[in-house]
Amino acid sequence: MVRVITVAVRDHTTSASLTGEVQALTKIDLAFRVAGQISELNVTVGQHVTAGQILAHIDSEAQQADLELAKASVQAAEAALEQASAALARQQALLASGLVTRSKYDQAEQDRRTAESSLVAAQAMHQAALNALSYTELLADGDGIVTRINRDKGEIAASAQPVISIAHDGPRDAVFNVHESLLFADAEELQAVPVDIALVADDSVRAIGTIREVAPTVDPRSGTVRVRVALENAPPAMKLGSLVTGSVTMPISHAIVIPWSAITLDQGRPAVWLVEPEALTATVRHVEIKQYTTPGIVLAGGLKAGDLLVVEGGQFLYEGKPVRIASGDPA
């Protein structure tokens, strides 16, 4: 005894609604280029900063000492060049009078060239020392809001280690962690569907977004996929960190949707039991699953309209087993 339904192609659509968070499109982790102890921390989390604003300092005694040494080296190189230039001028006058040999003049000219090269090297070292001193200041690279401070005043900051994170002003994203089973379309289909975004605290504050990015991998800890939705003309009330709901509905398509109770496994593959209408015997049929939904399972292939699908009693069947239809009417 089995219960069956007649397979039919019907209009089908899928919708989903999830809760996410408003984030900045661009987030930057700022770090010092040189290592040192943080001596000043001029901002707090949530503070708005402008491009070029000094956010933090590290102790610069070592860089100041290097700069003074570089300055002294430049002064010494300038004095050496001045002395070599004067010596070359004297040798040139004496050579014209025939009072010195050509080799002494050539040596004086070589000394002057060496002094010039030493000055260039000293100037380069001086510029490097200036740069190193400037690296003791951490500057905002653009207008934005401080979202995180990773190091406190007095701590040692390693070179290139993030100290302050900034969310830039400008475009905003709504970010959702979506279970893989809810990704009911490929990336191109999803990106073409508008997403209705509403503020959790006040659902009258709304915006329309488009899916900008679907992460290619599943987070191993949460088992979810990160989806970023670009907000179009987001209202001011949708501030960074605001909780929002995102709702999406796929366009209506034609599909075969079967009840969950109809699905089984055969040789490790998804399958269903069908009833041969004339012989009233059971036969197994492999199917291709497109999507799992709450109402049922959307098939990509394997069945056709008019097939008699077993929805109850399939656990007792085997290939060719005679059956009786409980309803008396397969439809």
Q: What is the pLDDT of residue 79?
A: 95
Residue 318, C-beta contacts closer than 8 angstroms, at least 6 positions apart: 282
The reply to whether the predicted model has a pTM over 0.75 is: no
Q: What is the pLDDT of residue 188?
A: 67
Give the range among 6-15, 49-58, 178-187, 222-231 with minimum mean pLDDT: 178-187
**d(C-alpha 275, C-alpha 309), whole Å:** 7
SS3 (DSSP) at 194: strand
Residue 102, classified by CB atoms within 10 Å of its CB into exposed (0-12), middle (13-18) or buried (19+), is: exposed
**d(C-alpha 247, C-alpha 291), whole Å:** 18
* Mean confidence (pLDDT) of the chain: 89
Q: For 171-226, write each residue's pLDDT tens digit.
A: 899 999 988 766 655 556 767 789 999 999 998 999 999 988 888 888 888 888 89
| Mean predicted confidence (pLDDT) in 24-51 | 92
Write the DSSP assignment of 53-122 as a string of letters: -EEEEE--HHHHHHHHHHHHHHHHHHHHHHHHHHHHHHHHHHHHHT-S-HHHHHHHHHHHHHHHHHHHHH
How confident is residue 248, by pLDDT bands cut at 50, 70 and 90? Answer: confident
Residue 52, classified by CB atoms within 10 Å of its CB into exposed (0-12), middle (13-18) or buried (19+), is: exposed
Q: How many CA atoms lie less than 13 Å away from 240 in the CB half-sphere?
A: 20
| Mean predicted confidence (pLDDT) in 287-295 | 84
**d(C-alpha 140, C-alpha 166), whole Å:** 8
144: closest CA among 43, 75, 295? Answer: 43
* Residue 93 Cα distances to 62, 87, 90, angstroms: 47, 10, 5
How confident is residue 329, by pLDDT bands cut at 50, 70 and 90? Answer: very low
Model confidence at 11: pLDDT above 70: yes
Q: Which domains occur in the chain, in start order?
A: 3-13+254-316 (2.40.420.20), 15-24+170-252 (2.40.30.170), 36-57+136-168 (2.40.50.100), 61-134 (1.10.287)
Q: What is the pLDDT of residue 187?
A: 59
Residue 206, C-beta contacts closer than 8 angstroms, at least 6 positions apart: 196, 197, 198, 199, 235
Model confidence at 117: pLDDT above 70: yes
Q: Is the dihedral of CA 36, 38, 43, 44 positive or negative?
A: positive
Enter the DSSP assignment of 133.
H
**d(C-alpha 47, C-alpha 211), whole Å:** 29
Residue 291, C-beta contacts closer than 8 angstroms, at least 6 positions apart: 14, 184, 297, 298
SS3 (DSSP) at 136: coil
Q: What is the pLDDT of residue 326?
A: 86
